[in-house]
Structure 1
Amino acid sequence: MLSALALSPLALGATAFAAPTPEDKLRAAVDGPQRSAANRARDGARHPYETLAFFGLRPDAQVIEIAPGGGWYTEILAAYLSPKGRLYAAHEPAEGSPGQQRARKAFADKLVADPATYGRVVLGTLPVERFTDIHPPGGADAVLTFRNIHNWISDGHFDETLRAFFAVLKPGGVLGVEEHRALPGTSLSQVIASGYVPQDFVVDRARAAGFRLAAISEINANPRDTHDHARGVWSLPPTLRGGEVDRAKYLAIGESDRMTLRFVKPAR
């Protein structure tokens, strides 16, 4: 016999209108209308739902997105973290090179054009040695970086940037990393030339900055990527720097083989 509670209209209503889970909210943000068609077209290569779920974000979290570029992940994160969380976008410096200034302005214009999605996003500046204008130290729940580490190695401030991430995170906070993955033993000169970074190098440098490696995911692995292209990682989509030269081959490979790592700032 069914219990009275099972037949209760109140119980049925509570079930029908249960609050969405964080997973539901993340899926809605990935599938939401705020995303451009061009960005959606890359989901099969970038796996945004699986990547962000692996990082363990909550919709009420304080998240810093590092070097968001044109806002590929910003479109998802801003929607997911609204209205209870907050997204901080650490972009190029406003007083940087002409190219950096153009990139920052284009991103700022994107935010202003859609206040319903981006009205709570805080625009700040990339750290080199420390954050200066975006978030108080020790208060962020997560710092996320997608395909940026090779640039910091080339510019000579990878270790300093990792220390800045460590300082801005609260104890237990997450550093989420996605990066083009080199074959083991790749030299730093090859890293700079190719854009691919050895996974063990990233892990070693993050540990030296104080982080603990919590988990590794292969969601962004690509076994078709041989890592030895004439123009490095930029030979592959979406850049296709070689133009029509071997274009079909690179399209068949797809986007790069990438590591996906979750680090944690220890509680003590």
Structure 2
Amino acid sequence: MMVRRAAAFFLIAAAAAPLAAQQSTEAAKPAVEQPSPLSAVLAAPTRTPANVARDKYRHPAETLTFFGLQPGQTVVELWPGGGWYTEVLAPYLATGGTLYVVPPAGNYDQRIRTKIGSNPVYGKVQVATFNSGQPTSIAAGSADLVLTFRNVHSWLDGDAPIADQVFAEAFRVLKPGGTLGVVEHRLPEEADDARQMTSGYVKVSTVRRLAEAAGFQFAGASEINANPKDTKDYPEGVWTLPPSLQLGDKDRAKYLAIGESDRMTLKFVKPN
């Protein structure tokens, strides 16, 4: 009888061993990590392939994370140009959030309107044109985040610079505690100030002065978009580099090897 019981025990143990081993292996497997909403948007097929190719220079995930982008926010993108960041922000905010784009009047206004009319993914994007001396249609104190990418030099340029007005408008539309995020081509502090009007590069001190004059407090800087290869001394200013490549085929390989410009990435906060 004891022999039979021992044999039965060993048969049961042998049968259970593979199941236990399988359960142990399954328990040891790491949980499959779901992509973040931002990662999913960056991988979405709605993005233009040529724009995706610029990710290695513009670091959208790291940049937007540094600025504090969250689902459900009200976000204002100033001077979207061709809509490079609009392609990311619009689908990210499509459920529960709001995106305003504020293009300059003229060709860029029509360009961004054409883009957001081209695909249902932009269906909720709202356009609020900026006219010099007048506030936009965006309600005061309604935005969580105001963003601008490579535009401050344009606001300084020309016979009637508007930088002061744009920073003041950013301050007006933000909620207390809201964030202003600025990415801009970076000019060395020791360079002649006049180069800011012609080269496309701007000093960090100039951006800080403009933001702080509007009422913002400086909240931090990141080197996410730095490029030490950028010598900032080109015949056509920053537009010598990609993606503009203003010199065409002349020294094209050289400028492609440098890549896009060295950029400051600055964060400011509207005080409570």
Q: TM-score range by the shorter chain?
A: 0.7 to 0.9
* Residue 66 (structure 2) aligned to one of 54, 61, 66: 54
* Residue 120 (structure 1) aligned to one of 99, 102, 124: 124
Q: Percent identity?
A: 50
- The aligned residue for residue 213 of structure 1 is 218
Which whole-Å CA distance do the structure 2 matches of 1:92 and 1:208 have between them? Answer: 22
Q: CA RMSD in A?
A: 1.9
Deviations 1:43-69 (A, max 9, x none): 001111111111001110000001111
- The aligned residue for residue 72 of structure 1 is 84
CA shift, 1:169, in A, is 0.6
Could you tell me whether the CA contact under 8 Å between 2:217 and 2:269 is conserved in 1? yes
**1:113 aligned counterpart, secondary structure:** coil
* Residue 104 (structure 1) aligned to one of 87, 91, 109: 109
Which whole-Å CA distance do the structure 1 matches of 2:74 and 2:58 have between them? Answer: 23
Equivalent residues in 2 for 1:30-49 (5 A)?
Answer: 30-49=42-61
CA shift, 1:185, in A, is 2.8
**1:178 aligned counterpart, secondary structure:** strand
Give the TM-score, by structure 1 length.
0.85
* Residue 192 (structure 1) aligned to one of 197, 207, 211: 197
Which whole-Å CA distance do the structure 2 matches of 1:254 and 1:229 have between them? Answer: 13
CA shift, 1:127, in A, is 5.0
Over alpha carbons, which structure has the higher Rg? 2
Which whole-Å CA distance do the structure 2 matches of 1:169 and 1:112 have between them? Answer: 27
Deviations 1:135-177 (A, max 9, x none): 1011111110000000001141111211111111110011000
- The aligned residue for residue 173 of structure 2 is 168
Change (3 A) 1:130 1:144: farther
Equivalent residues in 2 for 1:1-268 (5 A)?
Answer: 24-93=36-105, 96=106, 100=107, 103-115=108-120, 117-126=121-130, 128-133=132-137, 135-155=138-158, 156-267=161-272
Which whole-Å CA distance do the structure 2 matches of 1:209 and 1:92 have between them? Answer: 20
Could you tell me whether the CA contact under 8 Å between 1:144 and 1:176 is conserved in 2? yes
Change (3 A) 1:54 1:129: farther
How many aligned residue pairs are there?
241
Change (3 A) 1:86 1:69: same
Give the unaligned 5+ runs of structure 2.
1-30
**1:78 aligned counterpart, secondary structure:** helix
1:24 alignment partner AA: S
Which whole-Å CA distance do the structure 1 matches of 2:157 and 2:111 have between them? Answer: 25
CA shift, 1:25, in A, is 0.6
